[in-house]
Amino acid sequence: MSTKKDDSRGNGAAAHRDGSGPAGVGDVSRRRLLGSAGAAGAAGLVLGAAGGAGVYAATRSEVPTPLTAVGSTEAMFHGKHQAGITTPLQARGHLIAFDLAPGAGRKEAAALMRRWSDVAGRLMAGEPADTVQGHDTGVALDAGPSSLTVTFGFGRTFFTRTGLTGHRPPALDPLPVFSSDHLDARRSDGDLWVQIGADDALVAFHALRALQKEAGSAARVRWQMNGFNRTPGATGRPMTTRNLMGQVDGTNNPKPGESDFEKRIFVPAGGSSAHAWMAGGSYAVVRRIRMLLDDWEELTVKRQEQVIGRRKADGAPLSGGSEDTSMDLDKAGPDGKLLIPGNAHARISSPEENGGAAMLRRPFSYHDGISEDGTPDAGLLFICWQADPFKGFIPVQRKLDRGDALSPFIRHEASGLFAVPGGAASGEYVGQRLLEA
């Protein structure tokens, strides 16, 4: 095992878990592989990455073993963009919305964001979460950073509560009502939004608990959702994840190496002074989408593929080729019918059918047990990122709402839209350019 180190903390450089990622994306993970270190050197490195694992081993008179690749991977807190947007999908996730407490305003919000940023920065580096509200719980004591990311956003109501309505961007206007919506207001929206992701369940929970405690009396949890993805290394080769319908999900995502990726996903600098705080940021649309799995699983694989427009085995379009082959939307079979049906989900949601509208989908699956009717309460915590939801999510969802073959098998049950500011520079906290404007 070789050691590959990226000393680009805070400068926006990017590296995938294998160290081969493209430059210019500010939040993608770096890997600290420790296998080549000697026993004494490894002990010191493990202590630094795991926040105490080396001490625990020493009390048992054991030689500590190096962290695995999963445990040692660290995402950068400081940078041009917040982590958790272009970071590779993590195995575990928590989404939490908070409302500011009655009487709390701009001053309390700024103090909270400062505390949260401090805690998130230390946790993402694999350090203990000793906070103003109490000592570290020790839940993640033996683990490294495990690709932990913590991402913060502001809902529309946050600006009213803090007296900052003049700085609220038009892109935070309420989402339209869609015919497929069955939204629960108690699990929608919120003043503040936090996304936590990690490749270890205990590391993710540790961050969740620390941030909840650190909210103190300033904010109260409005809703929380827990999700998961396939664990890195569980497949023989890196591949696009699957959702709970068994479909490859995320094939046609914008890629960081594409020339227009930044302008599609991140807010550019140079806008109005009132909204300059969003430079380098992005807008997150969050939807809890329940999958009607019992109905879906009654379909044959062939019918499922026609609903989606892609092969279930490998995600390739029904028009032929491999997963990365562009869809041929005009190609017909021997019977003269389109190989990708006119109402197939992949067709209707494609940029080609939506004037180039695109968004970066970065979801988690969820399973919250069995409903009263005996069906699984399971589906997708859909999260998509774009520079402007009125040019990304909204036009695509409007098109899907008019006749998507997948619609009978899903139900949108919760929704939120959040402005996620750019990353914090060293010495800053997230949102400082807004809250101290």
d(CA 5, CA 329): 44
d(CA 84, CA 306): 32
| 3-state secondary structure at position 285 | strand
Joined tokens for residue 34: 């420790």
| 3-state secondary structure at position 274 | helix
- Spatial neighbors of 77 by CB under 8 A, at least 6 apart, are 83, 117, 120, 121, 124, 125, 150, 423, 424
Joined tokens for residue 424: 């914090």
Strand partners, 370: 376
The position carrying tokens 């000592």 is: 135
Is the Cα torsion angle 249, 252, 257, 262 positive or negative in sign?
A: negative
Q: How far apart are the first and last CA of the chain?
A: 48
| Residue 243 CB-half CA count within 13 A | 25
Inter-residue contact 154 to 191 (CB < 8 Å): yes
- DSSP string computed for 6-52: ---TTTT----TTS-PPTT-TT--EE---TTS-HHHHHHHHHHHHTS
CA distances from 362 to 90, 242, 275 (A): 10, 12, 25
- DSSP string computed for 367-383: EEEE-TTS-EEEEEEEE
- Would residue 189 show up in a list of annotated catalytic residues for this protein? no
Nearest to 87 by CA among 151, 34, 41: 151
Inter-residue contact 124 to 35 (CB < 8 Å): no
Backbone angles phi, psi at 351, to 5 degrees: -55, -30
Inter-residue contact 156 to 172 (CB < 8 Å): yes
Q: Could you say which of 27, 136, 189, 249 is catalytic? A: 249
Residues assigned a catalytic role: 249
